[in-house]
Structure 1
Amino acid sequence: MDSTPLHNAAVAAFLQDAQVLLARSQECLQHLELIANDPDACHSLTTALDTLAHRADALGLLEVAHYTFALQKLLAPTCAQQHLHGSSLPALDACLTLLDWQLELLDPQTGELGMDTDEQRLLLGELATSLGQPATQLCADCQHTGVYCAHPHTADNGIDSPEQQH
């Protein structure tokens, strides 16, 4: 990852924007806890996560980008069908809390995040189960090494299948 001053400034700007997007996502969750399946709250939530994922991806912040893309990819069909309620909301809250931790622990100078992917997979799996969807999977190399590989995922707003990645 590039550690030039220009990149450092870009990471710092990203972290400010990411906090705003995360706050918007958490407000949407609170709204959904009060008014189940609200289409505006769902749309705002998925849009905020998609924007955050694309910005992280553009800077090469792969851990944040992959996790946020996977989270958004799980939520999008559920929101489209207006089925985001009940037991899925605490699971979503846990996912957003982990995203908050990732943003807090991201090195503002280098953009590096020294976390393994186990908790990400666990929380995404719990959310998928609560949404009645198959558990989100990382590619085989990511699962094996615990380190994200470079995925050409921005074309479909999600994590590609292993055949498309490598």
Structure 2
Amino acid sequence: MRIDHKVWAQRFTEFQVEAELLLAKTEECLTHLQLISNDNDAIDCILSTLLKLASKADALALAAVSGFSLHIHSVLSHAHHHMPLHDEALGALKDCLTLIAWQLELIDQNTGQLFLDDSEQTELIEAFAFQVGQRQFQPPMNAKPFTLVGLAAHA
């Protein structure tokens, strides 16, 4: 199947706008959590927003963003049910969200590729997992790896 690069570029531009809105929403919810710790509505907001972001990224074959969003979702979902989120955990979550925003800026708009290794994603997700009591982060069985795949891989 051949991909129309012009259509993809338009869809990517729309994705970037929507992703920025989704990330702004997660920031609002995170700020709320910093004021009122363990507010279920704020946590649920972040969880649902991460799923939307992952789904939108996956639709454009942006595996690094999609996979990282799903991993953050997994850690937060597990933590939410097992322990209160303290300031260090919220700081680690903020670092993860900041990396997503940064990655969105670095995606090549012509190819869809993100030319970074996954070491920073791995470090941040492990730090977040550690802060919420997961001694060794294990991604969910159905989660995608952090592998960086661009548009060219789907052409």
> TM-score, normalized by length of structure 2?
0.84
Q: Could you tell me which amino acid in structure 2 is paired with residue 98 of structure 1?
A: L
- Give 1:19 shift: 0.4
Provide Cα deviations, 1:43-91, integer angstroms capped at 9, x if missing partner.
Answer: 0001001100011011100111111111111111222446223220111
Aligned partners of 2:37 and 2:86 also within 8 Å: yes
- Cα distance 1:12–1:59, how it changes in 2: closer, same or farther (>3 A)? same
In the alignment, what sits opposite 2:21? 20
Q: Distance in 2 between matches of 1:115 and 1:53?
A: 18
* 3-state SS, counterpart of residue 119 of structure 1: helix
In the alignment, what sits opposite 2:30? 29
Instruction: Provide structure 1 residue ranges, at least 5 long, that are not aligned to the other structure.
Output: 150-166
Q: Distance in 2 between matches of 1:136 and 1:3?
A: 37
In the alignment, what sits opposite 1:77? 78
- Cα distance 1:112–1:88, how it changes in 2: closer, same or farther (>3 A)? same
Aligned pairs for 1:108-127 within 5 A: 108-127=109-128
Instruction: Provide structure 2 residue ranges, at least 5 long, that are not aligned to the other structure.
Output: 150-155
Aligned pairs for 1:1-166 within 5 A: 2=3, 4-81=5-82, 83-133=84-134, 134-136=136-138, 147-148=147-148
- Cα distance 1:36–1:100, how it changes in 2: closer, same or farther (>3 A)? same
- Give 1:4 shift: 1.5
In the alignment, what sits opposite 2:153? none
Provide Cα deviations, 1:105-146, integer angstroms capped at 9, x if missing partner.
Answer: 11223221111100000000000000111324599xx98xx8
Q: Distance in 1 between matches of 2:28 and 2:83?
A: 18
- Cα distance 1:113–1:2, how it changes in 2: closer, same or farther (>3 A)? farther
Aligned partners of 2:83 and 2:132 also within 8 Å: no
| Aligned-residue CA RMSD (Å) | 2.4
- Cα distance 1:4–1:76, how it changes in 2: closer, same or farther (>3 A)? same
Q: Distance in 1 between matches of 2:66 and 2:118?
A: 12
Q: Distance in 2 between matches of 1:136 and 1:71?
A: 11
Q: Distance in 2 between matches of 1:82 and 1:5?
A: 47
Aligned residues: 145
Q: Could you tell me which amino acid in structure 1 is paired with residue 129 of structure 2?
A: A
* 3-state SS, counterpart of residue 87 of structure 1: helix
Deviates more, 1:73-82 or 1:25-34: 73-82
Where in structure 1 do 4 or more consecutive aligned residues deviate above 6 Å? none
